[in-house]
Structure 1
């Protein structure tokens, strides 16, 4: 198909060239004949395709995706409530994605795969338009900002082997590619989507864009608010984005984009299991608040050096703040009025400041060996992040959002991360069907930490200045063997998780940091078969192995004088293995049913996950003695063994309707595999649950559409996480049955 398209395109160009020459030249000489050139292979994803899931092309821009487990999600075609970032619908056809569902606003997503923790998606390398958006990818990788999915054009998901070109994270990479209005070919266009839903939900998305000459612009403003499905869970979210690009000449294009994001949400806190059974959506906290302010800017340059070589350079920066105030005790401790003061207890205030800058340059070129075209992709990266952390401030006794404190912050820490990296991959075409993609990543990381962890009287309890530098090499290799429109793929890639800021800070009176503390390291292996059969079957079936070594934890130790302390050190390893499969089938296309009846598509996305510790040393203090155990063969926490998502979609002309069923098996909240819940709700089994969602879209014209749906149609009462701190602590309920309706216009 690709070769035929290339041939047709080439013949068309030749015909136009010949026609132009005939009109301008009365005599044709040998030198005026068109000289044909081979065009590079391309993969087209139609803008108006109705499919929401695709594979990434082998090469996109300056990046090689061949040989990697990947998915491309077209957001315009996702059926579901994207306004509140309902990730079980967005990621329905990406097998094995585990999702925390406790945030009624969709402000902060929590996703993971293969037995990793979904905590603010910190095991994934999260990006927007190719640059980092988390707090600090190498020191504090939690994602407090997630793009409003109304504004996202497509989502790239790469597993495991993404570590070579994007970063070393075990989970892989998720890249949100924002709408840029690239399809607009007039000076001005306006787009608007207005959404209303359960629990006071209202969302307003408004965008403008246009093209004039060699310049192009696109900008949007999004406002979302709601009361939340629990008491004391209201929220307000604002997102603004602007993109301007200038095609200076046929070879050089510059782009500038700016993102602003802020939200304020009330935190209802966690509950115990007994409280959840009595009233799943109650709240015991009225005075807890959470605020985030995120500002990012990026400058992008694309330069076509020649027909075979291209260069991309990105410069990016971020200024972010994360603030919280509240009564953060476990839910079995009531937030009551102090009898002595006749006021509520003072709340705790925490504040983080993030200041990051970075740059990435990527170069790609084609060359030939023995008549076969090969491709080299290489690049360099620089990142520097500063975090100022203030914790345990003594706040006021009130109810509203207020960060004022009565005394200096007892905890005031400074963290600095510096990272440089070189990465390269080469796509070798051994035959027309068989390709091999070896790669390498060279990392240099430096973490610094200093400051105080407490104030005792007038004395600051300071941490010993920590400075940790390491350099290492991560190799990897991928391969593909093409069979028609299908392919067998495999890859191996090393990964690591750097020592985090929290691992470098400890109270020197109670804790000690192992001076030989090592980064967590390991590897991912994938082996699968994927592709299309005609226009009726789309599939990807694979097995994987994820080895996670040098996990960091605390073990109790005893000094020679008999005193005890906690040692933060490497405590053990875990291993995840399993199967991930997606099958999407259109029976009416197989049977060649008259298309006037519409089309029915069935899909099944399933994952089997066996995530267990193969060695995890635990030492605890019991009285005046130490007791050591090993949690070998215990299940990794937050890792369900089965995740199934299946559904059926019917579309006919302007109408599309989807019903989706989700099942997630039980999981443990701690490495001890505690089954019986603790009195405070922090530890215990997370039961299995299943859900049914239904949604649909009707396009009246190309300019007007309506979308709506009901999530959790059967009103399942469930929860997906137990929190030890924010936004709990305690059991965090998930959303009951709810609906949404969106009206959209594009003029």
Structure 2
């Protein structure tokens, strides 16, 4: 995939209210070169034993050129900022699945495997030309901000087993062993006042190994009704990729560390007479030293977003899914058509805990809306189908202090919004026609406040869009 795009930049809250389609940046460009190659192999040793091997490589790059300063200030002219990345990544994973009899005639299933990943990111940042066009060259040729290599390695082995204890009850324990190595090699220019910036050479390395475990179980209460519960450890490792990016809108804590925690959920699911499907669950997520964003100020009293280990956090929530085909009920399954109605609802209370920082304690976790609701209806047969979908996302925040507004628009509230979409499809022999209207009501809304490209600031979502696709099968 290759493309070149001119970017409008972000908006302040006031700009968005006036006209979300406007642009206050005329010199921003984005270029992508993305090449992904994958290979998959399946081998059957017997009816009970199968092997799956998947491997891939990513050879890619992206370059962002433009003005990265505060979006509430006009383009000052002069040299633009250029961020240039190259990615050379390789991954391979092998899985072995074996079914066997443990109790009576009940089949249990063993899954084991290993994963290898090696990645290399080359990241450069510096000044580029002062023009308006897509000239992706550093001026001078040596990047004036930073030049880094970020190699990384991940090796993992895992095993899990579904023990079918009887015809109603199964238990699935699993473990995963991880080794992660992240490195940084390069230089950055330390910004000085009243004297020239200082070039600093830097090397960093962080290696860690750990074991993650989990267990799940399900029990068929009676026909069409199943109870289930799961608990597993989780882990999120850091990398050094964003540590030395010079950006007035954002900084990364140099002492940033990995986060860990666990996830637990339980619920009930099932089918009623083949026309109603449901899944209702409660869940709890706990993160220690959660990596998040904090609205703060620099020595000049200018605001920016700090990415750091904010505090412990916990998410408590409920999620429900219901889908029903009413024509199956009314016609007792004799109709060639289907009329399917579905609803997906989630209520989440995600907050920071175990901290003495009053600006953060008991505040909502960023970008976790407390309420999500999606519903839709679909009508059609084997050839024709039309679908309508409605989505509502409640108000959320972009940082851990739950700031309602900032002058630079990097942090602040993300207001609640609702969106409707319609899609139609028709299949005739070898010809297929697919059409859709996204954002049917042409609602003005946004889901993201960016601290860098393609912003900074508010990134408006797309207005109403029309799509038509023709498909031919020979």
- TM-score relative to the length of structure 1: 0.57
> For 1:120-173, what per-residue CA distance to the aligned partner results, in whole angstroms no more than 9, with x for missing partners?
xxxxxxxxxxxxxxxxxxxxxxxxxxxxxxxxxxxxxxxxxxxxxxxxxxxxxx
Is the CA contact 1:695–1:708 (under 8 Å) kept in the aligned structure 2? Answer: yes
Any residues of structure 2 matched to 1:442-591 within 5 Å, and which? 442-454=177-189, 457=196, 460-463=199-202, 465-482=203-220, 483-502=222-241, 513-514=254-255, 518-552=257-291, 570-591=309-330
Which of 341, 366, 377 does residue 602 from structure 1 map onto? 341
- SS in structure 2 of the partner of residue 277 of structure 1: helix
Shift of 1:428: 0.3
- SS in structure 2 of the partner of residue 501 of structure 1: coil
Q: Distance in 1 between matches of 2:190 and 2:394?
A: 45
Any residues of structure 2 matched to 1:360-509 within 5 Å, and which? 360-371=93-104, 372-391=106-125, 393-407=126-140, 408-409=142-143, 410-454=145-189, 457=196, 460-463=199-202, 465-482=203-220, 483-502=222-241
Which of 406, 411, 420 does residue 683 from structure 1 map onto? 411
> For 1:175-230, what per-residue CA distance to the aligned partner results, in whole angstroms no more than 9, with x for missing partners?
xxxxxxxxxxxxxxxxxxxxxxxxxxxxxxxxxxxxxxxxxxxxxxxxxxxxxxxx
Shift of 1:547: 0.8
Is the CA contact 1:571–1:617 (under 8 Å) kept in the aligned structure 2? Answer: no
Partner of 1:672: 401
Structure 2, unaligned runs of 5 or more: 297-304
Is the CA contact 1:506–1:512 (under 8 Å) kept in the aligned structure 2? Answer: no
Q: Is it true that 1:346 corresponds to 2:106 in the alignment?
A: no
Q: Distance in 2 between matches of 1:512 and 1:674?
A: 20
- Please identify runs of 4+ aligned residues in structure 1 that moved more than 6 A: 553-556, 566-569
Q: Is it true that 1:293 corresponds to 2:28 in the alignment?
A: no
Is the CA contact 2:243–2:252 (under 8 Å) kept in the aligned structure 1? Answer: no
Change (3 A) 1:568 1:394: closer
Partner of 1:335: 75
Larger helix share, 1 or 2: 1
Which of 263, 266, 269 does residue 9 from structure 2 map onto? 269
Q: Distance in 2 between matches of 1:662 and 1:720?
A: 13
Change (3 A) 1:630 1:692: closer
- TM-score relative to the length of structure 2: 0.89
Which of 436, 439, 442 does residue 712 from structure 1 map onto? 439
RMSD: 2.6
Q: Distance in 2 between matches of 1:554 and 1:471?
A: 26
Q: Distance in 1 between matches of 2:389 and 2:252?
A: 49
Q: Distance in 1 between matches of 2:443 and 2:306?
A: 43
Is the CA contact 2:293–2:398 (under 8 Å) kept in the aligned structure 1? Answer: no
Q: Distance in 2 between matches of 1:586 and 1:313?
A: 38
Q: Distance in 1 between matches of 2:232 and 2:26?
A: 47
Q: Distance in 2 between matches of 1:552 and 1:597?
A: 52
Larger strand share, 1 or 2: 2
Is the CA contact 2:343–2:375 (under 8 Å) kept in the aligned structure 1? Answer: yes
Q: Distance in 1 between matches of 2:223 and 2:176?
A: 32
Rg larger in 1 or in 2?
1
Change (3 A) 1:501 1:744: same
> For 1:531-586, what per-residue CA distance to the aligned partner results, in whole angstroms no more than 9, with x for missing partners?
32222112221111111112247999xxxxxxxxx998644111111111111111
